Amino acid sequence: MLHHVSRAVAVLALSGCLLAACGEEGAREATGEERLRINTVVQAYLSSPGGDSCGLLTEGFVEKLTGEKGAAALRRCRAQPRDSARNLELQTPVVVGDRALVSTDRDGVRGVVSLMRSDDDWKISDITYPKLPAAPSTRTQPPPTTGQAPRTQTQPPRTPAHAKPG
């Protein structure tokens, strides 16, 4: 059931955001060689730990990832190590014109990879994973130090010797 929901979300996202830019061509599932090419690009990038796979990204996405422009962005991308996926599952790509979306499950985290077609090549134009909540801290904080030992219920408060009982 979840598989169908994520595919439906991908189709709706493509239909809503891309139809205006791509004309009247409808969303469809990629088949055959097109599916193989798209999934090969996504798998190669997400499974690669190094910068050799930066050529699988659009120039705009490389610049977004690195904060640099042009050749400097590509150099920085190639120099940055990445965590490669240990377990990667890809759903059937959904295509609208020269754009595609692939729902992924990367090491148990679901996300979406967006691609753009340039001639016969597909390149990754964005990768979206949900923001995960921060893990709760397991480190305990020490009690604040005031220079005095903490009082317990068995220790009455100290009164100065010159104070009169009340």
Residue 90 maps to a domain? yes
* CATH assignment of the domain containing 84: 3.10.450.50
Number of domains in the chain: 1
Burial of 114: CB neighbours in 10 Å, binned 0-12, 13-18, 19+? buried
Give, in order, the Cα–Cα distances in Å from 59 to each of 32, 34, 50, 103: 27, 22, 17, 22
Residue 106 maps to a domain? yes
Residue 163 maps to a domain? no
User: With a threshold of 0.95, does the pTM exceed it?
Assistant: no
Give, in order, the Cα–Cα distances in Å from 99 to each of 15, 91, 108, 124: 11, 16, 25, 10
Among the listed residues 44, 52, 55, the one whose alpha carbon sits nearest the alpha carbon of residue 85: 44
For residue 65, the enclosing domain spans: 27-128
Residue 13 maps to a domain? no
Residue 94 maps to a domain? yes
Residue 164 maps to a domain? no
Residue 40 maps to a domain? yes
pLDDT at 84: 82
Residue 60 maps to a domain? yes
Q: How confident is the model at residue 71 (pLDDT cuts 50, 70, 90)?
A: very high
Give, in order, the Cα–Cα distances in Å from 54 to each of 47, 97, 102, 118: 12, 24, 18, 16
pLDDT tens digit string along 88-106? Answer: 999 999 999 999 999 999 8
